[in-house]
Amino acid sequence: MRTANMSDHKTAWRCVTLFLFIVTSEAVLSGLYIDNGVDQTVIHHSMTRHEKLLVEHEILDLLGLGERPRRSGSPPLDRSAPSFLLDVYKQLAEEHEQARPTRSSEMALSGEEQQAIDESDLIMTFQSKKHHLGALRHGHGRHVWFEVAGAPSDASSLLTAELRLHQAATHTEDPTSLYTVVAHRVLSVDNVGVLKMERVAAVNTSAGAEGWLEFNVTSALSAWLTEPTENRGFFITLHPHTQPERHVKPEEIGLEEPHGSGADGKQPFLVAFFKNGPKLGGWDAGARRKREARRWRTHGYSDNYLRNPLTDTSHWTTRSCEIQTLYVSFKDLEWQDWIIAPDGYSAYYCSGECNFPLNAHKNATNHAIVQTLVHLLNPTQVPKPSCAPIKLATISVLYYTDDSNVILRKYKNMVVKTCGCH
């Protein structure tokens, strides 16, 4: 018998199991490190190349990807978009180690941004790209465009979206002069280059300020997710705070150029926060389950699986239920071309006996204690309780979907924190 919440553990453990048996059949390193039962961590290496490919597809499904991202070059981590999410990733990693991070964010996160990070399951950034709008007649503004086609198409899962523009320090006669920077959504462009725009957000700044300007552009991104063909980008205008009719060139107060002509890591970018695990690239859970059943039915797995140390415990000495070592190395799997961080993660697993008496350190449920007593009376009819995870933690994975867009995704119930008898 098992407690009611064991279905959640089984689901979480199944997700972890997808990672357990990934190996490279032609390499020295397998990507999987386990406890061999005598307090030694060893490399496990058993799967064929064909089996590895099958399981790799399952992992990509778990990540919400239809196929492995293909990149043309090394990760440009000096760009502003991946730098932002790498900073967020480091902050989340610190929070897992202690209650409060020891350092402030390099991107100067606001309270609203911090709340969005805590509430979101997926964070996605978009680097600015060139986009032709024709010969614009608005001479003092700046066009900024982002390719958002790779974002989740369900706009209802969007929590918030933010446009970030960097302002560099400039030498002006009066650095205290106040200006208003306005972000407009471009609705259309006529034949002579006149823009029809919708004001989305505005931020006040001074001429001598330096740092990131943040614009809430949730409404614009939501519209583009619903109607991708309407994405014509943003148009940025600038005017003295008390003179809205007078337009000023953005470079006069140090706003960085959209396409990398400014300092490294200061290009404009868009960041979006999503909730409830939106799927990317047409990912469909029902289709994945059908593919999974077909793969197991058609191809199966070799006898090596049956001799896996995690399924064949005949060589182990009897030990009580406790947490065991399991480390999955993304780096050994040669996924570092698209997974930025981490290099791998400690998944752990639970193993051992749940024998009478069930001491407090075995984290046994009341039901498990009763089941143990009944097992002693009738061992052939009632099995002993099982050793299983009772507390699981989240991991964060930072990865590219293409050459510029980056995702930080949280995966719940992926790390075993505590084992117990159920």
Q: Which residues contact residue 104 at a Cβ distance below 8 angstroms, ignoring those fewer than 6 apart? A: none
Same-domain pairing of 232 and 337: no
On whether the CB atoms of residues 31 and 329 are closer than 8 A, the answer is yes
Q: How confident is the model at residue 283 (pLDDT cuts 50, 70, 90)?
A: very low
Structure tokens at 46: 């058993």
Round to whole Å and give the CA distance between 1 and 379.
13
- Of 352 and 301, more confident: 352
Structure tokens at 104: 């402030």
Structure tokens at 203: 């931020």
Same-domain pairing of 315 and 363: yes
Q: How confident is the model at residue 187 (pLDDT cuts 50, 70, 90)?
A: very high
Q: How confident is the model at residue 401 (pLDDT cuts 50, 70, 90)?
A: confident
Same-domain pairing of 244 and 129: yes
Q: Is residue 138 part of a domain?
A: yes
Q: Which residues contact residue 270 at a Cβ distance below 8 angstroms, ignoring those fewer than 6 apart? A: 125, 126, 128, 146, 148, 161, 162, 163, 164, 217, 221
- Please count the structural domains in the chain: 2
Nearest Cα neighbor of 395 from 366, 418, 368, 415 is 415
Does 174 score more than 80 pLDDT? no
Instruction: Give this prediction's pTM.
Output: 0.76
Q: Is residue 269 part of a domain?
A: yes
Same-domain pairing of 124 and 262: yes
Neighbouring CB atoms inside 10 A of 229's CB total: 6
Residue 67: strand, helix, or coil: coil
Same-domain pairing of 129 and 214: yes
Same-domain pairing of 149 and 262: yes
Q: Which of 23-32, 144-153, 218-227, 269-278 has the lowest mean pLDDT?
A: 23-32
Report the first-to-last Cα separation within the chain, whole angstroms.
8
Which CATH number do you get for residue 345? Answer: 2.10.90.10
Q: Is residue 379 part of a domain?
A: yes
Q: How many residues does the chain have?
A: 422
Q: Is residue 41 part of a domain?
A: yes
On whether the CB atoms of residues 400 and 406 are closer than 8 A, the answer is yes
Same-domain pairing of 183 and 225: yes
Does 194 score more than 90 pLDDT? no
Q: Which residues contact residue 295 at a Cβ distance below 8 angstroms, ignoring those fewer than 6 apart? A: 54, 57, 58
Q: Is residue 283 part of a domain?
A: no
Average pLDDT of the chain is 75
Neighbouring CB atoms inside 10 A of 360's CB total: 6
- What are the Cα distances from residue 356, in Å, to 6, 71, 360, 369, 386? 21, 55, 12, 8, 12
Same-domain pairing of 27 and 118: no
Round to whole Å and give the CA distance between 195 and 188.
6
Does 56 score more than 60 pLDDT? yes
Round to whole Å and give the CA distance between 125 and 77.
13
Q: Mean pLDDT across the stretch 256-271?
A: 74
Q: Is residue 232 part of a domain?
A: yes
Same-domain pairing of 321 and 244: no
Q: Residues 232-262: pLDDT tens digits?
A: 999 999 999 889 888 888 888 888 877 654 4
Q: Mean pLDDT across the stretch 340-347?
A: 86
Round to whole Å and give the CA distance between 395 and 414.
6
Same-domain pairing of 112 and 233: yes
Whether omega for the bond prior to residue 357 falls within 30 degrees of 0, making it cis, is: yes
**Enclosing domain of residue 243:** 108-274
Q: Is residue 141 part of a domain?
A: yes
